[in-house]
Amino acid sequence: MARLLILLAVLAAAAGIGLVWRSRSGRARVRGIDRRGPEPGVLAALGVGDDPVTLVQFSTAFCQPCRATRRILDRIASETPGVRHLEVDAESHLDAVRALRILRTPTTLLVDAEGRIRNRVVGQPLPADVSAALAPLLGTGVSEAERRAPDGW
3 state SS for the chain: CHHHHHHHHHHHHHHHHHHHHHHHCCCEECCCCCCCCCCCCHHHHHCCCCCCEEEEEEECCCCHHHHHHHHHHHHHHHHCCCEEEEEEEHHHCHHHHHHCCCCCCCEEEEEECCCCEEEEEECCCCHHHHHHHHHHHHCCCCCHHHHHCCCCC
pLDDT confidence band for 23 (50 / 70 / 90):
low
- Average pLDDT of the segment spanning 117-144: 82
pLDDT tens, residue by residue, 49-98: 888 999 999 999 999 999 999 999 999 999 999 999 999 999 999 999 99
Q: What is the pTM of this model?
A: 0.70
pLDDT confidence of residue 21: 62
